[in-house]
Amino acid sequence: MAFDVLAFHERAVRTPSHESVADMRSLLVDVLEDAGVNARIDEAGNVVARRGVGENPDDTSHLLLNTHLDTVPPHVPFERDGDIVQGRGACDAKGPLAAMVGAFLGADLDDGSVTLAVTPDEETTQTGAAHLAESLDTFDAAIVGEPTGLDVCYAARGQFEGQITLHGESAHASDPSDGTNAVRAIGPTIEAMDRYDAENGTAAHDTLGSPTLTPTMVEGGEAPNQIPAEVRITFDRRSVPPERSEEFPASLESHLREELSADIGVDVSLVRPDTPFPEAFETDPDAQIVEVLREAGGGAVPPFGAATEAAQFAVSAPTVVFGPGVLSDDEGPVAHSPREYVDRRDVERAADVLTGTVETMMA
């Protein structure tokens, strides 16, 4: 029986995966195995399947198709109005997933192989993608499914969060001079953050533009009549190549130490240093995978508008982001919003484009 892309998409959107991906993972595995393809769940919770290994796998092309099972909360129920499907995951990323499964199962493979690898935690820790990057066989190119409006996106800024801890000295508020008020360092710290890129020579990227460093939360103090000895400023960093997340805290900390008064201590750390962050990446826009996707019917070739686990694979091979749906439209946010939607015709179109791409890359 031929795989029905739209029927699978509807089942996927009806299956909540904002708290647990267990049901969604079972659905995907069952569909693949019903089609006669062996699917395994690896130790990181990824669903991995491969077709068309061939007689000499080391001498043939290997294409990776990747997207994710999980969605952000809360769950938004499935609704359909004509060709428009609304619901959580409709475009991020169950529309791309349906299109990829359709291409993976439907493409005729003359030579080479294609791997479908679907992660469980793209919206949170991205440990699944990190495991895939370390464990998969060598691949020649990767397509990562996200809502791009069917454009072929070859670059994206990185994204990570960190925390600046400012240390003063506690004292009774009746005599502020007895202590060092960490709250008073918040303003100078934010001003110093605004100067970070200019004073450290962080250049704007030709494709992705300038990085950003944005304070997002402030917390500190223990009592209204006590000089606070510690304040924490959480920040969001949107990086551009060649910056890497693991190098950033030390650089920012050094900058702040130079900018703040000597009686304020400063520590900068990543919010979750033991799990990967989506790094910035850029693929050559003239790479074969970009050209093949365009010739198969993909749209323009812009950078992607959000962070993505594509960076995990771009280290190893040319990687692009592609899929039906959009991050936002003229009315505002779409992906991750209560009005998340996708056009069923775009899901079908994405499946056709991906099928043509797989067949061309394997020819």
Residue 179 near residue 231, CB atoms below 8 Å? no
Q: What are phi and psi of 84, to 5 degrees?
A: -100, 120
Q: How far is CA 127 from CA 7, 222, 246, 338, in A?
A: 30, 35, 16, 27
Q: Which entry of 10, 121, 122, 348 is annotated as an active-site residue?
A: 122
Q: Which residues contact 296 (CB under 8 A, 6 or more apart)?
A: 352, 353, 354, 356, 357, 360
State whether residue 72 is helix, strand or coil.
Answer: coil
Does the active-site annotation cover 330? no
Distance of CA 4 to the CA centre of its chain: 27
Q: What six digits make up the tokens of 202?
A: 């962080």
Using CA atoms, how far apart are residues 64 and 96, in angstroms rounded to an integer?
A: 14
State whether residue 223 is helix, strand or coil.
Answer: coil
Q: Kind of pairing, strands 47-51 and 113-119?
A: antiparallel
Residue located via tokens 């050094």: 254
State whether residue 333 is helix, strand or coil.
Answer: strand
State whether residue 23 is helix, strand or coil.
Answer: helix
The partner residues of 266 in beta bridges, in order of sequence, read 166
Under DSSP, the state recorded for 271 is S
Does the active-site annotation cover 295? no
Distance of CA 213 to the CA centre of its chain: 18
Which of the residues are catalytic? 70, 122
